[in-house]
């Protein structure tokens, strides 16, 4: 067995470490450890080996090229993304690294690090620059199974003197994020359309309600005109033919007909929907100045019932102050 005499800092030489009294198995272990350390130092001491060593430990698909565009590093994650083993693409040029992304040989983001190309830059309109690093989001149609959205970052490689000697590119699969964004955008657009449609429906509804109110006013005017032209003359004629004691009922009838064509009842019903039809009837008579006795006689109920109804009406109208006159209050409608 050959004993290596070349010394390496931090590791004891086999010729020094191996003693005569040590067993052959222990001597072999010392020599193997030394040789392994020497090989490791030789690999790490080579810049290209250093790069491959570091890149292989990166979780994102990453590769590097030299200044001539020759692939010098292709990590395990890149093998998985592309389906191409490192041994098949290392040393390849002529944009072979673009095939896993686009299905053809063509310049990609990393080539902008090595040489400026205005035509190529147009293929990446949304490039973000962070000093000498380029970042972009792209869709790579050739990535299996059916293309993927990728976040791509490209940076220069420098030698010990600060000279650019190549470029490195790392990618990250953001397909699920993009799909979520697209779904949110689609939902937002749909909500905008629905909001616009709802706005148009509200406009149409307001127009319909406006037409309804206009028709109601026309009906009210027509009804009022008919009552004044047809009904009122008959009532006046009948009132002149009855006894004085009965003429009061015709006055009450006239007032009720006038109130039917006036907005008082409608206003009362719209503001105080809890009022019963009988209570609205009593409100109408109170507004026209009829006493509780007159109301009781006209409605064939007792005065006591009318008083109770008036108290209930005050409560529903929210008249808590006893000094407020019900007749005066109803006159404000």
* Distance from the Cα of residue 187 to its chain's centroid: 8
Domain ranges of the chain: 1-45, 47-173, 176-241, 263-333
73 near 46, Cβ under 8 Å? no
pLDDT number for residue 48? 62
Residue 206 pLDDT > 90: no
Phi, psi values for residue 127, rounded to 5°: -70, 135
Please say if the pLDDT value at position 13 is more than 60.
no
Dist. CA 41–CA 49, nearest whole Å = 11
- CATH fit for domain 263-333, picks 3.40.220.10, 1.10.760.10, 1.25.40.10, 1.10.10.10: 1.10.10.10
| Nearest residue to 257 via CA among 228, 229, 233, 237 | 228
Q: Could you give the CA distance from residue 230 to residue 234 in angstroms, rounded to a whole number? A: 7
Cα atoms in the Cβ-side hemisphere of radius 13 Å centred on 12 = 9
**What is the average pLDDT score of the chain?**
79
The number of C-alpha atoms within 13 Å of 238 and in the hemisphere containing its C-beta is 13
Q: What is the mean pLDDT of residues 145-150?
A: 90
**297 or 51: which leads in pLDDT:** 297
Residue range 47-173, CATH number:
3.30.450.20
Sheet holding 128-130, edge to edge: 71-74, 62-66, 164-173, 148-158, 133-140, 128-130
pLDDT band, residue 41 (cuts 50/70/90): very low
């Amino acid at each position: 067995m050959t004993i290596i005499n070349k010394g390496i800092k931090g590791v004891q030489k086999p010729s020094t470490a191996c003693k005569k009294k040590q067993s052959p198995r222990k001597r072999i272990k010392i020599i193997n450890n030394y040789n392994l350390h020497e090989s490791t130092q030789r690999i790490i001491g080579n810049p290209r080996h250093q790069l491959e060593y570091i890149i292989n430990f990166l979780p994102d698909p990453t590769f590097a090229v030299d200044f001539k565009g020759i692939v010098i590093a292709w990590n395990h994650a890149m093998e998985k993304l592309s389906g191409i083993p490192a041994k098949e693409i290392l040393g390849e040029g002529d944009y072979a690294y673009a095939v896993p992304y686009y299905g053809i040989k063509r310049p990609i983001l990393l080539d902008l690090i090595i040489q400026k190309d205005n035509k190529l830059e147009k293929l990446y309109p949304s490039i973000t620059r962070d000093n000498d690093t380029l970042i972009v989001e792209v869709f790579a149609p050739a990535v299996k199974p059916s293309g993927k959205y990728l976040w791509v970052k490209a940076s220069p490689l420098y030698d010990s003197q600060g000279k650019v000697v190549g470029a490195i590119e790392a990618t990250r699969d953001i397909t699920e994020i993009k799909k979520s964004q697209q779904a949110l955008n689609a939902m937002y657009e749909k909500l905008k359309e629905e909001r616009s449609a709802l706005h148009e429906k509200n406009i149409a509804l307001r127009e319909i309600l406006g037409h309804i109110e206009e028709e109601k006013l026309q009906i009210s005017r027509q009804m009022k005109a008919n009552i004044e032209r047809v009904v009122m003359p008959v009532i006046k004629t009948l009132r002149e033919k009855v006894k004085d004691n009965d003429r009061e009922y015709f006055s009450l009838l006239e007032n009720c007909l006038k109130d039917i064509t006036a907005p008082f009842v409608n206003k009362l019903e719209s503001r105080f929907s809890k009022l019963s039809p009988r209570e609205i009837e009593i409100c109408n008579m109170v507004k026209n100045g009829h006493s509780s006795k007159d109301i009781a006689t006209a409605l064939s109920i007792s005065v006591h019932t009318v008083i109770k109804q008036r108290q209930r009406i005050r409560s529903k109208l929210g008249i808590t102050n006893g000094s407020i006159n019900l007749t005066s209050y109803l006159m404000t409608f």
